[in-house]
Amino acid sequence: MLNLQFPSRVKLVEVGPRDGLQNEKQQVPAAIKIELVQRLQAAGLKEIEVTSFVSPKWVPQMADNAEVMAGIQRKAGVRYSVLTPNQQGFEAALLSQPDEIVVFGAASEAFSQKNINCSIAESIERFAPVVAAARGAGIYVRGAMSCAVGCPYEGDVAPERVGYLAGLMKGIGVQHVGVADTIGVGTPLKVQRAVEATLKHFDIDDVSGHFHDTYGQALANTLICLQLGVWQFDTSVAGLGGCPYAKGATGNVATEDVVYLLHGMGIETGIDLDRLIDAGQFISDFLGRSTNARAGKALFNKRQA
Ligand code: HMG
Ligand code: MG
């Protein structure tokens, strides 16, 4: 039977500064990234994925990771996370004192190879000492599970592959996992199966959704997750984003659109939608294009009229 019980409160992890900007061709100065983080926290975002400590040869846009982390003015109650693919990235990240790190693996072998240059099994071997060191230092560890419904190289990804990866992540001490539709091909029942496979290894409170919106399904996928009891989602202001190793994939679902959906359903987020729209406008103006947030755009136009 259709579950119409929804969480009363949802936590959004803003990934715009990292997932959003990593794929931008034009170099975005550190000062702009810092200003964006400032505006996002002023809008009430309580968790911000700021940057990634990956190879600057692979992802040049994130080469200013330490500068951005040093430049942000930390606000009490806000948690700042960064991506760390290996020990080298973790050691560099440690100097920036993140509250949380993200190890990122994939449910498909081909994507693992293209994105982080190793197999799924090798990635787990690389993550294990990073997870242990982070937890030893009191840093929370999140795991991202890419291609949880579809892969740009392998096509459909079976839920069993997601369950397998979730089990491996749990086994090395990862505390929370994100079910990621990297290329935005998922539809609600496929996403449901990927989430259910994950729930065999992680509690509902330790699972989040990360939906790219390439095929316009991200809000529907978010809604079915809410019905399953998932209450944490990664979203990106102005719908920025894409992965350099997932050609054709567009941005994450826009934070503005998810906030509009949630507030419209009476679900609390602690986010001021007006200020969030301003943050989205700020980065869209810098990038010289109009926002990908549908609700953001509609509300902005209404405000102008
Ligand atoms: P590799 O080439 O296999 O690494 O890269 P290596 O250990 O053989 O080292 C080779 C060179 O890279 C060396 O430099 C190392 O120093 C350097 P050289 O001697 O040639 O000058 N290196 C590093 N430099 C800086 N930071 C590091 C680092 N590690 C090695 N951490 C690696 C392996 C993972 C580093 C590489 O493949 C990489 O950086 N990949 C980028 C992956 C990435 O950032 N992808 C996008 C983020 S994931 C994503 O967007 C998906 C997500 O949003 C969820 C979803 O939507 O699915 C999270
Ligand atoms: Mg992503």
* CATH number, residue 222: 3.20.20.70
Q: Is residue 115 assigned to a domain?
A: no
HSE value, Cβ hemisphere, 13 Å, CA-based, for 94: 14
Atom of ligand 1 nearest to the CA of 88: 31
Q: Is residue 219 assigned to a domain?
A: yes
CA 98 to ligand 1 centroid distance, Å: 18
* Residues 21 and 242 sit within 8 Å (Cβ to Cβ): no
Sorted by sequence, the CB contacts under 8 Å of residue 258 that are 6+ apart come out as 12, 219, 222, 233, 235
CA 172 to ligand 2 centroid distance, Å: 22
Q: Is residue 226 assigned to a domain?
A: yes
Q: Is 86 in the pocket of ligand 1 (CB under 6 A)?
A: yes
Residues in the 5 Å CB sphere of ion ligand 2 = 19
Q: Is 243 in the pocket of ligand 1 (CB under 6 A)?
A: yes
Q: Which domain holds residue 264?
A: 11-80+168-304
Q: Is residue 257 assigned to a domain?
A: yes
Give 206-240 pLDDT, tens digit per residue. Answer: 999 999 999 999 999 999 999 999 999 999 999 99
Mean pLDDT (whole number) for 249-277: 97
Q: Which tokens go with 68?
A: 């951005």
- How far is residue 248 from each of residues 26, 39, 178, 240, measured CA to CA in Å? 17, 29, 21, 13
Active-site positions? 243
Q: Is residue 55 assigned to a domain?
A: yes
Residue nearest to atom 9 of ligand 1 (CA): 55
Is the pLDDT at 166 greater than 70? The verdict is yes
Is the pLDDT at 1 greater than 60? The verdict is no
Q: What amino acid occupies position 253?
A: V
Mean pLDDT (whole number) for 19-32: 95
Q: Is residue 6 assigned to a domain?
A: no
Domain total for the chain?
A: 1
Atom of ligand 1 nearest to the CA of 148: 57
Backbone phi, then psi, for 151, in 5-degree steps?
A: -125, 140
What's the pTM? Answer: 0.97
Mean pLDDT (whole number) for 259-271: 98
Residue nearest to atom 3 of ligand 1 (CA): 117
Q: Is residue 94 assigned to a domain?
A: no
Q: Is 115 in the pocket of ligand 1 (CB under 6 A)?
A: yes
Tokens 């004192």 identify what position?
Answer: 97
Mean pLDDT (whole number) for 56-78: 98
Mean pLDDT (whole number) for 16-31: 96
Q: Is residue 193 assigned to a domain?
A: yes
